[in-house]
Chain A
Amino acid sequence: MGGSGGGGVSGEIAIEGSSTVFPITQRVAESFNQDNPDVNITVGDAGTSEGFVPFCEGETEISDASRPIEAEEIQACEENGVEYIEVPVALDGISVVTNTQNDWAQDITLEELKQIWEPDSQVENWSDVRSEWPDQPINLFGPGTESGTFDFFTEEVNGEEGASRTNYQASGDDNVLVQGVSSDPNAMGYFGYSYYAENQDTLKALPVDGVPVNPNTISSAEYPLSRPLFIYVSTQALEENEAVGPFVEFYLQDGNLTQFVEESDYVALPGNTENETRAQFEDRTTGTIYTKQGKLPGGDIESALKQSK
């Protein structure tokens, strides 16, 4: 274990990627900087896809991701000789939210979500979803195509990654989405759990297929839109940049990870999974644990991590 990182390291760490993972990494960076003021860490939140572009060109040391790396990105990394360690750091549930003044919608099904969000969706009013809901426009807010949340949601809900209706307020800035939904009674939106948890006074999360979104249902994967969040660490950066190793060790340190994750309003990995995650990094196991179809061998992260050895 690297302890608190030694306190003596210096260097620059560039991190880009998911705006969902951003709050965790940002917190870690701030905390790490207290002990290691000479390390210059920049954390971006341009989106998962936007993060993998510079990562696979060797321009960033670490990439935040709210979905596993994809075939095209794996190829881009390979072409540039960038090898990486995939480290699951937390669990998230994509929250489907409305305004608190919305007194009609109390829950929603995956089928209805598909009807609303699928390409060329005909849903214009709330009553188009359920006839007992009012005949008022449904104003939609969601992340843009650069977002891992967008990729995951379209895959899970519409059955195909990237397949989505296009006439909604798309923003890569989750705070814009929060502001939009929390000031419009007719709004519906989706984004990471953290942004809902921090704005519970102005947002209402709808249970999906009868399961409410909360740390328990996310952890048990009962909530249908729950998913792991990752950081990807470049092995080249680990060798060449003395600050990267201590930083990731600090990130994953027993006690630290759970605390950072929970402070950012996400759900910590179960204890065993966290240990496997740590082992994954310490053994420098490269590559993704996901199959080509984007599935986890063994069904959950823990067994997938074990199998990857």
Chain B
Amino acid sequence: MTVETRQGQGSGQNLWRESRARNVRERLVRVVLRACAYISILTTFGIVFVLFGEAFTFFQDVSIVRFLTETQWTAGFATTPEDGEFGIIVLAWATIFSTIIACVVALPIGLGAAIYLSEYASAGLRRWLKPALEILAGVPTIVYGFFALTFVTPFLQGTILPGIQIYNILSASLVMGVMIIPTVASVSEDAIYAVPRGLREGAYALGATKREVATKVVVPAAISGIVASFVLGISRAVGETMIMAVAAGALAQLTVNPLESMQTMTAYIVQVTSGESPRGSLEYETIFAVGATLFVMTLLLNTIAYWFVRRFREVY
């Protein structure tokens, strides 16, 4: 403490004096900050390099055509590239399917919550409702996973869906949807709240009702932010791992029945890495091909979002 204070005073005395020490400090800070900016970019390059490098080895054993056209995934049982099937569509479809179900839950509820918080809720209510919603985002996903497996599935089994399997994509996706609500709500609420007051008051002056102001003026004005929140939510759903690994089972099958078990790309990677697949084995190589596919999917998603946000941004 005392040292800090003394330093503070020292720099105060030197504040107006050009000194070498000061220049060095300035430059040092700049270098450190630049390193911070570059470190994540470098990490991304490293990941891409490793991911696609290992995936390339895999595609020498199993052609990319087989990877894209086969309709079964039996990598865990294959000892040679010939006796297995490596149709990524099985895992990719499970990921897409679970994301769709989760979005059906999360996007409307998240947006509804955002509109309510920003347009309808009183300031006092908003002050504690928004942090409360954000607490949901802090729950570890493994907890959501066990919630799906030990509460939601038995509940569905006992009430409306007696035929549902114990490991199924529906419960996992529904709970994943709940998990994403705060992300969607929080980000789109920020966007909606940022819409200038003048726009609302202009609409009221023209005789619009509160509902008309919310849906026809405020939401369209905030659409780029809302879409950004949707994409953020979708990206989380695509990459979500623990909920799927715990509650959706490990049956890699191509189906549209949400009551059955399916294996998403992330859950497959967990299954392989939680064992000790020897480095260089075929099963080990598959996770890089799957990981690369996942990477391409999220990259595509983010690119579309980036384009959309730029295209439709309203500037005030």
Contacts and interface: CB of A to CB of B under 8 A. Distances in A.
Interface of A: 16, 46-47, 50, 53-54, 139, 144-146, 162, 164, 166-172, 179-180, 183-184, 187
A164 B275 contact: no
Given A169-B249, A170-B250, A183-B154, A50 B166 contact: no
Closest 9 CB pairs of A and B: A183-B166, A166-B74, A50-B276, A166-B77, A146-B275, A184-B166, A169-B251, A46-B276, A180-B166
Report whether over half of chain A's contact residues are helix, strand or loop; otherwise say mixed.
loop
A20 to B, nearest CB: 15
Nearest to A184: B166
Contacts of A164: 77
Contacts of B157: 183
Interface in B139-188: 149, 153-154, 157, 165-167
Given A50-B277, A168-B251, 20 more contacts: A16-B276, A46-B275, A46-B276, A47-B275, A50-B276, A139-B165, A144-B76, A146-B275, A146-B276, A166-B76, A167-B251, A167-B252, A167-B253, A169-B250, A171-B250, A172-B274, A180-B166, A180-B167, A184-B166, A187-B166
From A50, A183, A184, residue with most partner B Cβ within 10 Å: A183
A170 B154 contact: no
A307 to B, nearest CB: 32
B74 A144 contact: no
Interface of B: 72, 74, 76-77, 79, 149, 153-154, 157, 165-167, 249-253, 261, 271, 274-278
Contacts of A187: 166
Contacts of A171: 250, 271
A169 B261 contact: yes
Nearest to A57: B278
9 contacts: A46-B275, A53-B276, A169-B250, A169-B261, A170-B250, A172-B275, A179-B166, A184-B165, A184-B166
Nearest to A183: B166
A120 to B, nearest CB: 11
B10 to A, nearest CB: 50
A76 to B, nearest CB: 10
B82 to A, nearest CB: 14
Nearest to B276: A50
A85 B251 CA distance: 38
Nearest to A164: B77
Nearest to B154: A183
Contacts of A169: 167, 249-251, 261
Contacts of A166: 72, 74, 76-77
Nearest to B274: A172
B288 to A, nearest CB: 19
Contacts of A146: 275-277
Nearest to B261: A169
B30 to A, nearest CB: 46
A54 B275 CA distance: 12
Contacts of B275: 46-47, 50, 144, 146, 172
Contacts of A172: 274-275
B197 to A, nearest CB: 54
A183 B162 CA distance: 11
Contacts of A167: 251-253
A129 B264 CA distance: 30
A46 B76 CA distance: 15
Contacts of A184: 165-166
A170 B251 CA distance: 7
Contacts of B77: 145, 162, 164, 166
A154 B68 CA distance: 30
> In this complex, which of B149, B153, B154, B167 has the most chain A Cβ atoms within 10 angstroms of its Cβ?
B167
Contacts of A183: 153-154, 157, 166
A172 B270 CA distance: 12
Contacts of A54: 276
A294 to B, nearest CB: 17
B150 to A, nearest CB: 9
B273 to A, nearest CB: 11
Contacts of B72: 166
B57 to A, nearest CB: 19
Contacts of A144: 76, 271, 275
Contacts of B153: 183
A170 B76 contact: yes
A157 to B, nearest CB: 15
B149 to A, nearest CB: 8
A131 B278 CA distance: 44
Contacts of B250: 169-171
Contacts of B165: 139, 184
A167 B261 CA distance: 11
Interface centre among A54, A166, A171 (most CB of B within 10 A): A166
A178 to B, nearest CB: 11
A16 B275 CA distance: 11
B251 A162 contact: no
